Copies of this chain bind each other. A is one copy, B any other.
Amino acid sequence: MGESLTIGELAKLGKVNLETIRYYEQQGLIPKPPRLSSGYRSFPADAVNRVRFIKQAQELGFSLREVKELLDLQVNPDSTGADVKQRADAKLADIEEKIKILQAMKKSLMNLTATCNGKSSIGDCPIIKSLNSDKG
């Protein structure tokens, strides 16, 4: 353990473009890594996890700004525990909301595949309807 990575290695392991790494660094999503005497970046091995986390969170509909907020929850050591808790709770609410909606979508889709299980025409199976339950 404790291997360090070049930007290219990190990009490959994180399954993103090399330029994306530089972009994330610029945006403060990845801490600025130390440099070798050559000027090359030298990333710690666990930077891979951070890159993947960013990508996954994005796929869940979080903007990079929001991802940064999530990451800052664990990084910011000068914020009080209470402050962190408050922000974490807000994120938690976001997450729970997403889960709820996804579960409603899942239910509708399962209903759709059950209803239209291999033959009948569909017309208007209620994918949309099962959302929009109550929120405004």
User: How would residues 15 to 54 of chain A score, 1 for a CB under 8 Å from any chain B CB and 0 otherwise?
Assistant: 0000000000000000000000000000000000110110
Count of chain A residues with a beta carbon within 8 Å of a chain B beta carbon? 55
Inter-chain CA distance A101–B80, complex, in Å, is 28
If A56-B101, A61-B61, A92-B113 touch, does A118 touch B49 (CB 8 Å cutoff)?
A: no
Q: Judge if A5 is at the interface, Cβ distance under 8 Å.
A: no
In the complex, the answer to whether B132 meets A81 with C-beta atoms within 8 Å is no
The answer, among B81, B119, B125, B126, for a CB contact under 8 Å with A116, is B81
Bound Cα distance from A123 to B88, whole angstroms: 15
Return chain B residues, CB-CB under 8 Å to A58. Answer: 61
Known interface pairs A52-B132, A106-B99; A74-B124 also in contact (CB < 8 Å):
yes
With contacts A60-B101, A85-B118, A119-B81 taken as known, whether A73 is within 8 angstroms of B112 at the C-beta atoms is: yes
> Within the assembled complex, what's the spacing in Å between the Cα atoms of A56 and B30?
29
What residues on B are CB-neighbors of A103 within 8 Å?
99
Q: Chain A 76-102 against B: per-residue CB contact (8 Å), 1 yes, 0 no?
A: 110011101100110110011011011
